[in-house]
Structure 1
Amino acid sequence: MHCDVISKMLQSPTIQFKDDRRLDVTLERLEQGQVKTQCFAIYLSESLGKPRFEHILHSIDVFHRSVLNHRKMRFIRSQEDWVEMEAAGDQIGALLSLEGVDGLEGDLSYVHLCYLLGVRLIGFTWNHANWAADGVMEPRNGGFTRKGRALIEQCEQLGLIMDVSHLSEAGFWELAERSSKPIIASHSNSQTICPHPRNLTDDQIVSIIRRGGRIGITFFPPFVRRDSSVSIDDVLRHIDHICSLGGKSNLMFGSDFDGIDQFITNLEHPGKYDKLHNALARQYSSADVEGFTYKNASIFLKAALPLNS
């Protein structure tokens, strides 16, 4: 449910999606790991300068030219796209998300344009404050601005899936109050297991569960364990804890590949997903493993995506 392939391509135009070792996520590795769907984030690096809407448009163009130009990749914008992708059997779904609304420049008409161009998930911030809300690393821990609250309303009207990863805790609770729809944390773990600000408190996790949302376990070592050596077993500790809070049907995975520079042993790229699957199978039933690795996300998306493109 989260990778930063597009951001890398935006900064290095020579990178190829098919089999370029400068990427963690490539077509071959998705096939090797039997990945059925990958969500590609639009993240505007500080190296681009002041975030502009033209950077978002350029990112979407890169997505089409470099990712969707491969026959196996299927753009997922609607419930029909999802059903057809599943029926085809040999296709890999490609979702498009916006990580941080800085590049929308405070113009709500750009939100509608992003939706028309196929963006289906939106995260309001990266780690810091912007025109809409405070990020999780903003010291004042503020919520949404007036224009940010209008953004929530527009996302609700359009049917954009709202993502709380990177959002401040105050922003989380304000969104929970103002939104009537399920929300997701595309790439966040449990703060109880690993006390990092980017992880979710138990109260936040329970809130997402009760709303029928989803939590994408992420593989960035500092979010998994406060240690220099992190293993797949440490990832399972987060899964165990969220399950203990009633979230067995709410779990999915949001690797953050291509947005991280540290890796879990035997989980360095999607081609290694068999190692994660095997570890899960030793501890959980086949139905649970199917839920974690695919079905939980599939059920959610088939309900949350619009009826047509």
Structure 2
Amino acid sequence: MKPRIFDAHCDTVFELQEQKKELNRNDLHLDLQRMEEYEGYIQVFAAFVDQKSICGTCMNHCIALLERMHREIEKNSKQITLIQTAEDLEEVIEKQKIGAVLSIEGGEALEGNLAALWMYYRLGVRLITLTWNHANEIADGITQSRGGGLTDFGRQAVAAMERMGILIDVSHLSVKGFWDVAEMTQYPFVASHSCVKALCPHPRNLDDDQIDLLISRRGGIGINFFPEFLTQRPDCIIQDILRHMEYILCRGGDETVGLGSDFDGVEALPADMTGVQDMGQVVQAMLDYGFTQNQVKNIRFENFRRIFHETMRRSM
């Protein structure tokens, strides 16, 4: 049996919808058959919303993806459980089952309406990535050249998310937006699928000040497996993932760094990976690299378990 895993981000539900595939078994990066090989697996499934590439409204698109994920969970209820509360989380862990946490990647799904937060909460959403790469009603994304921070609506939305127990995710957010979130929040927040800018100077990666802030706030950083975020070399291997983990650990991030694979949301993986079946290989590589048993346990599971547990305890 492979080790227990908590992965803070994948885009599998989007690909299931687009390619008309099934969660139980498919040829994507992730399916239930391969996840069942682990001693429990908790996956955050993102409903990806990019306003520049979808037909119809952002809200309708998002609801359709969430509805698809609900149908997949119901259809495979013996294998996977929807996690909506801290109690759900602990029960899934105790039973060593697969657990699904629903999230939204792209706050344009709210369409500037705070009431939409209540609706998404009732649909099971427990994390929202405030922006994708572009600007929306909440803030500017990282590719927006003006680099604006949170809007007035964005501040209201972030405050409401903290009250409701919806985890705030700053991956893809502008640098100004990151610091606005840091200034106005009191609870831990996360960068669910981001890497280290000092090791790979991609705009999507976090600088040292951002990393240190997340460490000091006991937030989370899920290391993304996309080669363009990991290295500037033409080749990329699992060891490059470990370099980013090690960098954060060396800054005191034992309780911060975790997994944020971005499965089915990236065009490529490291050369020695093909999907979720290789998560055990990543864990073994951490041990071979010299990480302590406790560090490995935190990275592969405990850090995001703590953050989600604490967030869900604030749920309405």
TM category (shorter chain) comes to: over 0.9
Q: Deviations over 1:42-69 (max 9, x none)?
A: 1124442254312222111100112442
Q: Which residue of 2 aligns with 1:72?
A: 79
Root mean square deviation of aligned Cα: 1.5
Farther-moved stretch of structure 1 (281-290 vs 92-101): 281-290
Q: Which residue of 2 aligns with 1:101?
A: 107
- C-alpha separation in 1, matches of 2:237 and 2:65: 33
- C-alpha separation in 2, matches of 1:236 and 1:279: 8
The answer on whether the counterparts of 1:31 and 1:271 sit within 8 Å (CA) in structure 2 is no
The answer on whether the counterparts of 1:33 and 1:270 sit within 8 Å (CA) in structure 2 is no
Farther-moved stretch of structure 1 (168-177 vs 24-33): 24-33
Matched, 1:271 2:277: yes
The answer on whether the counterparts of 1:136 and 1:169 sit within 8 Å (CA) in structure 2 is yes
Matched, 1:82 2:77: no
Residue identity opposite 2:232 in structure 1: R
Query: Any idea what SS the aligned residue of 1:16 has?
Result: coil
Residue 10 of structure 1, CA deviation: 2.5
Within a 5 Å distance, the mapping from 1:8-47 to structure 2 comes to 8-12=15-19, 14-21=20-27, 23-34=28-39, 36-45=41-50, 46-47=52-53
Residue 168 of structure 1, CA deviation: 0.3
Residue identity opposite 1:244 in structure 2: C
Matched, 1:285 2:299: no
The answer on whether the counterparts of 1:266 and 1:275 sit within 8 Å (CA) in structure 2 is no
Q: Which residue of 2 aligns with 1:154?
A: 160
Unmatched segments (≥5 aa) in structure 1? none
Query: Any idea what SS the aligned residue of 1:242 has?
Result: helix
Unmatched segments (≥5 aa) in structure 2? 1-7
Q: Which of 205, 221, 238 in structure 1 is aligned with 2:227?
A: 221
Q: Which residue of 2 aligns with 1:142?
A: 148
Residue identity opposite 1:87 in structure 2: E
Query: Any idea what SS the aligned residue of 1:81 has?
Result: helix
- C-alpha separation in 2, matches of 1:232 and 1:63: 29
Q: May I ask how many residue pairs the two structures share in their alignment?
A: 306
The TM-score normalised by the length of structure 2 is 0.93
Identity of aligned residues (%): 35
Q: Deviations over 1:249-301 (max 9, x none)?
A: 11110100101111102222010112111110111122211111111121222
Q: Deviations over 1:214-263 (max 9, x none)?
A: 11011000000012200111111111110111101111101001011111
- C-alpha separation in 2, matches of 1:244 and 1:43: 32
The TM-score normalised by the length of structure 1 is 0.95
